[in-house]
Amino acid sequence: MAETTAVAAEMANLGVLEQEQQVTPWDVNAGADGKIDYEKLIKKFGCQSITPELIERVERLTGMPAHPLLRRGVFFAHRDLKELLDAYEKDPNCFYLYTGRGPSSESLHMGHLIPFTFTKYLQDAFKVPLVIQLTDDEKSIWKGISIEESRRLAFENAKDIIAIGFNPKSTFIFNDFDYVGGNFYKNMVAIGKCVTFNQARGIFGFTNEDCIAKIAFPPVQAAPSFPDCFPHMFGEGKKLRCLIPCAIDQDPYFRMTRDVAPRIGGHKPFLIESRFFPSLKGDSGKMSASDPNSAIYVTDTPKQIKSKVNKHAFSGGRDTVEEHREKGGDLNVDVSWKYLNFFLDDDEELKKIGEEYGSGRMLTGEIKKKLIDVVTAMVTRHQEIRAKITQADLDIFFSTAKRNHADLFGSVNPCNAQPAAVPADAAAASEVVPKGEK
């Protein structure tokens, strides 16, 4: 239980000894300078930095260019990714992907798209299956949302996730309230038996005032790391490995899982972890759902996007045009520049914008206009695709009908040409979930 004990101690250090920066699965508080020190997190959590050599190996094994989010260091840390690539080189059918979303709002903001966009790249590049967990139970527990409303939000959020263009033949989406049971519940109990309350309190910061539903939740998020939770996808064994793309605040869950895994007969999950997406108002950790002007939502209109960026995007520009021309914009704090690093695909164009703005030749209004154009195009496209998603599409992704192994591994994503379309053969092969269950 060394790893679980270590994470408990180190989370305590983060929360108590270094109160200027606190990162947990539920709260992200920046340091006194308003920034997150990611090198400190790597050291405290004990994960590894992603190196250029590792990125080159991903490109070589997949035959695809690395995603911009990987090339630019947005996904910057990992756990044992080298070992997973070693296994993949010997057997391309050796792992599946697992990611998730806690549905606490009607729609996603741009920051929520980051892990899903990157996960889609991983699914397409490695041609492996994917499970997506919607933790409607978690949000009901922590946010005080009714079970019925949390469950409804899960299915609304699923439409935004499907709109990203995941392969319907090899992707399974599930919400906890409807899916947990059977093998999944058996794994939850096995995991829970391996972790003491003192360890859970050290890892997650539970107090005597927390309800026991919170204390019981960590095994729910840990369980999908084991393939036998999904017998209709992977059968009954624990042979398959699991790669989890997530933000680094989720690391404590899976450090606990990695410690437990060998004791319940499974592989330790592998992680690839991202930085936080900054608020429009500055680089101080996660965006706040309570402040609509701190985020751009996938439901925003072009007018709202323009207004939010122009009025609220924190600028690294100078006080006067003359000073800006002389000193240039501060790329370290400018949110428009940071957002373009997430969303502008063209490396050469991004480099030119950085040079122009950093030298003062490009003004704040110009870089904001570029961001508005890029984000508006993305959001408009997303809205068009989401509007076409039907109940039948949801039924396909949520189906627990047995999947064809040939479709799970090595299959080309049919949605890459038409992201909103669900192939007829996938629809015919799927077990439809009754509408009453939605």
The DSSP-derived string for 118-177 is HHHHHHHHHT--EEEEE-HHHHHHHH---HHHHHHHHHHHHHHHHTT---TTSEEEEEHH
Share of the chain above pLDDT 70, in %: 88
Bridge partners, 351 (sequence order): none
pLDDT higher for 419 or 57?
57
Q: What is the pLDDT of residues 157-206, one digit of tens each?
A: 999 999 999 999 999 999 999 999 999 999 999 999 999 999 999 989 89
Angle at the Cα of 94 from the Cα atoms of 90 and 99, rounded to 5 degrees: 140
Burial 250-277 (b: 16+ CB within 10 A, else e): bbbbbbbbbbbbeebebbbbbbbbbbbb
Distances (CA, A) of 29 to 25, 56, 318, 367, 375: 11, 33, 27, 28, 27
First to last CA, the chain: 40
Of the candidates 436, 403, 305, 382, the residue with the CA atom closest to the CA atom of residue 96: 403
Token pair for 141: 């527990």
pTM of whole model > 0.85?
yes
Mean pLDDT of the chain: 89
- Which three-class secondary structure state does DSSP give residue 246? strand
Here the tokens at position 338 are: 């940071």
- At 199 the pLDDT is 94
| Mean pLDDT, residues 41-69 | 95
Please count the helices (runs of H) and the strands (runs of E) in the chain.
Answer: 23, 9
pLDDT at 68: 96
Closest CA to 200 of 257, 153, 146, 279: 257
User: 10 Å Cβ neighbour count for 50?
Assistant: 19
How many CA atoms lie less than 13 Å away from 274 in the CB half-sphere?
Answer: 27
Q: What is the mean pLDDT of residues 111-124?
A: 95
Between the alpha carbon of residue 126 and those of residues 26, 91, 121, 122, the distances in Å are: 31, 11, 8, 6
C-alpha pair distances (Å), 113 with each of 107, 117, 164, 256:
11, 6, 8, 26
Is 241 in contact with 270 (CB distance < 8 Å)? yes
pLDDT in tens, 289-323: 557 888 999 999 999 999 999 999 999 999 999 99
The predicted-structure confidence for 135-170, as pLDDT tens digits, reads as follows: 999 999 999 999 999 999 999 999 999 999 999 999
pLDDT of residue 426: 40
Closest Cα to residue 36, out of 279, 218, 205?
279
Strand partners of residue 96: 242
Tell me how far apart the alpha carbons of residues 77 and 74 are, in angstroms, rounded to a whole number: 9
Query: Which residue spans within 339-426 are E strands per DSSP?
Result: none
